[in-house]
Every structure is written in C-alpha cells, then in structure tokens.
Amino acid sequence: MKQRPLFFLALMALFSLWFNATLPLHFDEAYYWLWSQHLAASYFDHPPMIAWLLWLVQVFGKSEWVLRLVPACCMTVTGFLLYRLAKRSFGEAVAERALLLYLFLPLTQLGFLLAVPDAPLALGWVLLMSAGYEAAFGARWRRSMLLAGAAAGFALLAKYTAVVAVLSLFVFFLFSPVRARLLSVSFLGSAALAALVFSPVLYWNYQHDWVSFRFQLAHGVAAEKVFQPAYLLEFVGGQLAVGGVFTALALFYLAFRYWRQHFAQPKLLFFWCFSIIPIGFFMQAAAFKRGAANWPAPAFLAGCVLVAYWSLRLNWHRWYKAALAFGVLLLVVAKLPECLPFLPEKVVPKQRFLGYKEAITALPAAHPEAWLADSYKAASLLAYYGGRLDVDVLDSDRPSMFDYWRKEAALPERALFVTSRDKREAAATYYRQVTALPSGGARFGFDKQGFFLYQCEGLQRGR
C-alpha cells in the first residue's frame, strides 16, 4: 500500500476522533448505549452488534468520545479493506480514487460520527465483499467461501438490511463463470456458518414471538401495493444525499450506460451486483411505502470502486476534482461550519445535537423522584446525561426496548414527566395532579424547542 492513500485515511480517522469529542450524543446513540447496559442476544429494533461493540469500548469509559470509537474504527477499517479490494481488482490508481471518493461521501462522514448500527454494517458489508471476491476469483476459494459465510453472519448481526448484500453475492455467482460453486460443499458450509453466527438473533426472536423480524418487515414493506410516486422520488433524492450528488449520479449513469461491459467482465459484474442490486431492491419497496435513505447506503462502497474504475478509463479528471471539491465543501458545512460564519443557523447540521445535554444535566439535583419520558428518544438521553438507568417511557407512539426492560407494569406514585411536546392532558389520564414546571430555559435542535416538565402525583390508573 502506497503512503499517500494511507495518509489520507489516517488523516480522516484522526480528524473524526477529534470532531467526535466535540458533540453531545444524538438520541439514537444514547438509545444504543442503553442497549449496552442491558446486554442481550438481540433487541427489538435491530440485531445486537452495535450494543456489543459499545459494551467492549466502555473499558475506556463512557464519554461521547469513547463510545464513538466504535464508528470511527469501523469506518477506518472499512476504508482500508475497500482500498485493498479495489487494488486487488483493478490496480493502485483505481484503489486510491475509490478510497478518496469513499472518504468524502456524506454516508461515510456520518458513519465516522454516529455510534449506530450503520457503521458495523459497513464493516460487515466490505468483509463480505472481500471474502466473496476471493471465493470467486481467488485460488483458495473454498476457505474464502467459508469466510464469506462468517462475514455474512457478522453483517446480519449489525443490521437486517445486510440480507441484501448476501443476495447480491448470490446473484453474482448465478451470472458468473463460477456459478457451479453454489453447489459445492463449501457453499453449504458457508450458509451454515452464516446461520451459526446469526443464531443469537434467531434465538432471541424465537423467545419473543419473532417480534423484531415482524417489526422490521412491517416497517419496510407496504401491506397494500399502491404506487406512491412521491415516496419513490424522495428515496431517489435520498440516494443523492447519502451517496453524494456527483458519485451517485455517476454510478447510476455508468451502471446502465455500460451494462453490457459489466455483464461481460466478471470483476465489473461483482461490483455492479453489490451496488445496483441493493439500491434497486429498496427502490422498488420505496415505490409503495416511504423508505429510509440509509437502507441501501453500503451499496456505495462498491459504487465507489465502479465509479473510480470508469472515471479513470473515461478520463473524467474534471469530474473527479469537482466531486472531491464538493465532498470537502459538504464536510466543512457539516462539521466545521465555524469556517463559514455566513451560513444560516438552520442549515448547520450540528444544531441537531446541541442543547439536550444542558437541559438534562440541570435536572437530577432538583428531581430525585422517578423519571418518565414520552418517547424512547427522550428517555435514552435522560438515561445517559441524567445518569438514571431506571427512566421509563409513558404514552409513546411506538414500541421500543423500554417495553422489554420494564420490570413492573405499575407506574410510580410520584414522577417527573419529561416530554418533547405538551402532554399535560395525557399525563392527567394517569395522575390526579399534574403540575407544569419551568423547563430551565435550555433549547435544542433546529427549532430551538425545550422540554416540557410535569410533576405528576396521585396515581389513578396503570398503563
């Protein structure tokens, strides 16, 4: 590996480690940190990998910086493996360009920051790509096939959407010259190993009536197939957002403009399958139900390699410089807005993280009684910054792990109810006396709202 790409990767990793220490946790990060305080084989919302990794790093403490070692390490190793895979496939020049495109993707910059399942998913995805590539093109393909099974299990332990990466590898083998390997003992062993690695999730779901699988299936698949063009356009726009406008548009153009070349050359077909199949899979689902932009995000890992290959072959030098310049600009806007003091506050993404910590840390001394929140989001932040693992959720609009951690159905006789909206009437259905309290003045988020605080006494009914 040459020094220049290694330097770029190390520089981005060091920058991310510094930046990650400057921001409070997002509520999703606090929620997954709370998972790590209740270790389990799996969880309601997602598989357990993020919780397990967060538990491991807490040997160094539980500060924001420590917890975010997980995404920073995952994305750094992902970048290294992607570079190595691209170099193995197409040479040094393509590998360096693919790595630089990867480093400045919006999804990568978010991945370096947020301690959420997407970072270990990216790592598992590129591990599966690397092992799958060796299983198709390497000399020791039988061993690599088994490693691909282990990598598939790892990716599935990170997030259920990894099943589309497994599908991508399977489709590639079907259309490749080595399709006969699908009938080999090594392939059967690979599938068995993937199931074994994934078995904690299967066991947890078996114990809980397959609730996590049912929740995610209902979340992503429409019950009635009614075409929703607005959802489809929203999803396509989301791919431009997570994959970067330049890289995403180039990928879509190149993937279909040169589809014959992709199917004629197995190495190109490999990266085509890992990029286009995931995006296409979730795009068809988004035509009927609103989909999240990040669901197929790891597809842009293979997409960076394809775009790097074709942009060099087609001499897209100006495009490449423009893509990197745009990526740097987005990084500055997102993470260093102080360098652009003319930016309106509402377009600064960092605002989404600010204010919660100050609003919560002022509560514990004044309110030693039980705490309730109106959502898993607020409850998770209260648990992390308030140091209260016994926070519970009341009047939430969706199920969460709080429903499984709860030891008793009964509500406390006296509680502080912390809400993100005015829910006095809702609290009054449970407590005879509900008194609004001053919020303390701290404001947070883009809309600069604050918490609503209610002192609740005189329990009159249970949940």
Looking at residue 223, its pLDDT comes to 75
Partners of 54 in the β-ladder: none
How many Cα atoms occupy the beta-carbon half-sphere of 378 within 13 Å? Answer: 25
Tokens of 294: 């990040």
Which residues are within 8 A (CB) of 375 and not within 5 positions of it... i.e. 6 or more apart? 393, 396, 397, 398, 420
CB 168 within 8 A of CB 278: yes
Looking at residue 445, its pLDDT comes to 66
C-beta atoms surrounding 48 within 10 Å:
22
Looking at residue 103, its pLDDT comes to 98
Looking at residue 440, its pLDDT comes to 66
Query: pTM of the full predicted structure?
Result: 0.95
What is d(CA 63, CA 316) in angstroms, rounded to the nearest whole number?
44
Looking at residue 446, its pLDDT comes to 62
**Following CA atoms 424, 430, 433, 436 in sequence, which dihedral angle do they give, to the nearest 10 degrees?**
-20
Partners of 371 in the β-ladder: 416
CB 391 within 8 A of CB 415: no
Low-confidence ranges of the chain (pLDDT < 50): none
Nearest Cα residue to 41 out of 205, 164, 224, 156: 205
The amino acid present at 19, given as its one-letter code, is F
Strand, coil or helix: 1: coil
> Token pair 């929740």 is at which residue?
215
What is d(CA 306, CA 20) in angstroms, rounded to the nearest whole number?
30
Partners of 372 in the β-ladder: 392, 417
What is d(CA 281, CA 268) in angstroms, rounded to the nearest whole number?
19
Strand, coil or helix: 168: helix
Nearest Cα residue to 417 out of 401, 439, 399: 439
CB 396 within 8 A of CB 376: yes
Which residues are within 8 A (CB) of 236 and not within 5 positions of it... i.e. 6 or more apart? 283
Nearest Cα residue to 114 out of 32, 36, 38: 32
What is d(CA 348, CA 219) in angstroms, rounded to the nearest whole number?
29
Strand, coil or helix: 328: helix
Looking at residue 6, its pLDDT comes to 87
Looking at residue 462, its pLDDT comes to 80
**Following CA atoms 259, 260, 262, 266 in sequence, which dihedral angle do they give, to the nearest 10 degrees?**
150
Looking at residue 447, its pLDDT comes to 66
